[in-house]
Structure 1
Amino acid sequence: MALKIAVVGTGYVGLTTGACLAHLGHKVVCADIDPEKIASLRSGHIPIVEDGLTELVTQGLASGNLSFVVGSSGAVQDCEIAFLCVPTPQGDDGAADLSYVQAASEEISASLPFGAIVVNKSTVPVGSTKVVERSLQRPDISVVSNPEFLREGSAVHDFLHPDRVVIGSDNRQASLKVASVYDALSAKIIITDPASAETIKYAANAFLATKLSFINAIAAICEGVGADINDVVSGIGSDTRIGANFLQPGPGWGGSCFPKDSRALIKIAEDADYNFDLLKGVITVNNQQFDRVTEKICLAAGGSVSGKIVAVWGLTFKAGTDDLRDSPSLQIIQRLLHLGAIIQAFDPTVTSHRIGLNQEIQIAETAVKCAQNAEVLVVLTEWSEFTKIDPSVVRTVMSGRTIVDGRNLLDRSAWQEAGFTHLGIGR
């Protein structure tokens, strides 16, 4: 059954949610406070890099199932369900800042139809449904938690093919109404209370971060004892109790979710009188990984990078997105700059300096130009196009002959045959 849905916020989560819900046949109105952004979206221009999203927005606009308006009040006035997809930035103490959630709730309160449902899609701490209820001051409105589990770069696929849909509410009928939004998907529906739904989101991201820190720690051991991390991952990942997902060693983890959510869960634990030393250790290991990769690069440059050109392939926190937030690449670059390195970088989504990029980074037009006169070449984002670059061509422009492959992405044999020393993670 098609529902009338409002989506408040058109960031990564909001825009993907709106476009996918329209694709499922619902009538969706997405709202944002930025008039220029709304005008751009109405013309079908997508401001982010996300596989398949442009096509869904274009289809939604053409079918009439998707529209964009300035201001959330206009979006919700005829809706049955309103999804809140607004930012929840981190405060100085690690807690999520709910000011945007509260402001959005207050703004839509007077415009919501009687008996509508408000859904928290944003990642919010336990108890946030009560915060929204207080901000709305509408006893006829049910507030439901429905956390997102979208990975940047594959958000559309994740939305349309979810492992599960989590819905938390004290109102059974409201839960079932929200569940009906996903009727077209063959997904497992988990209906629970709001606190459990909110905890599930944080626990999931914290556990995934734990797996990544664990495998990076094992990779460090592999380097010390002469083991191959690829074989180790194959061996332990074949155990169905463990699984192979999120056991890929790398330069560290980052992005818009894991760092923020991990610190937020530590704060939630503190407020619940629990000292979450395990998760603190996960964060510590991740910071150590940034340092370890930086040290590996320095050793590859002869012990020091001061005054030397280091070529970096990849700036975004992962492939398939243009998001630079808390990128491991930028964490390592910042350390290298502090040590006096000259950084030349290439990323297929970064053509010029923008917010989040140190002005000292020299942006190259191509991956090969990035390697010009470099002492060391470092791979920090797993863009597949890097695997298609001819090592012999890179050799003609580099001054050094060492690759630090922070993603174990490149064909080691091919680069060695071209005369390079290939240093991976855990190998």
Structure 2
Amino acid sequence: MIDPESLMLEDFTRLRRLPPYILSLVNTKKQEIRRKGEDVIDLGMGNPNIPAPDEVVNKLKEVSSDPKSHRYSAAAGIHKLKEEIAKRYSRLWNVSLDPDSEVAIVSGTKMGFFQLVLAMVANGDNVVVPEPAYPVHLYAPMIAGADVRTFSMFNGLSFFDNLQKIVRSTYPKPKFIVVSFPNNPTTKCVDIDFFSKLIDFAISERIWVIHDFAYADIVFDGYKAPSILQVKDAKKVAVEFYSMSKGFCMAGFRIGFALGNKTLIGILHKIKSWMEYGLFTPIQVAAIVALRDFPDFPSKIAKIYESRRNTVVDWFGKMGWIIEKPQGSMFIWAKIPDEFRSLGSEKFANLLLEKSFVATAPGIAFGQSGEGYIRIALVENEHRIKQAIRNIRRVLSAGG
């Protein structure tokens, strides 16, 4: 007998294009194990465990108690907040931004990226996303109806050889390319010359660039992550997303910014005006306090992540699992040990979860090019991280 509901599901064509969300499956397995009473150390999701400054939280409470803030917010957001992020860009990256036409406030950069993609692409458009990639970079364009063209950052060719090859062999020409540095999941970092070359290429090929700068502030060993907007003429073709989630530890607040090209900021504002009434006013005011009064807070947070990074790399190194030290992001991108490589990343991550009670993210969740790796999030204190490593060492030493 034919199930009527199955027939109805066939109508949801956008969802049919999506594969199972592996990170969601990992989370489900994690919850199942926790329900059995096990203490799972969660290094799977990049969910900061460090609180935002007390003054930011207090301002959120204060403004929330004002009945005026319970009304709808303006879709465009509070102008003072746009001014504060523009000041930060001027101070840190010597980038001049017009708060009115070159800045948009978004309800988290994941949502902002999704909204911009929906505004930019039509069915049948092509976009380019290097792999491994943060899943929304791959699947937001797909949900919007675009065809996603990928290339591996690990295939032996240079980034620009790959990019030139795929752009010039794709018809119709790609609408945009998505990049993100410091990269999630690979932790790869770049210099300003990389962005200069990318902008020159984008202008010559007449394609847009979207840069996800989520880990702008989480950098180590004296490295300073460049903004793509530092490049001359970048604003002709590029938009950059800056997040309050990582450096300011405001992940649950869901607030960030899109900055750069006036045309793209304009269409983002337009689609936002149809989709939402604006971000909750107390969150915007709290973000003003964070940017204005705690400009150096992200540097202190980066030091905490740097210490955690050192612990993971050093402790795993002592047990023979050699991992390259990242210069940025809140992750470790670890190649699976040789003796477990044949399992594949999903089964290896499941092994760690089921036997050592440590959740990690399998590399395959970030595209085919992520196979053979796992991503470890530095989102527990060092005591918990060391316990996780001891648990993993015990399982790996026993051969699984």
Q: TM-score range by the shorter chain?
A: 0.3 to 0.5
Greater C-alpha Rg: 1
**Normalised by the size of structure 2, how large is the TM-score?**
0.33
Choose between structure 1 and 2 for higher RCO, CA contacts under 8 A separated by at least 6 residues. Answer: 2
Q: More helix per residue: 1 or 2?
A: 2
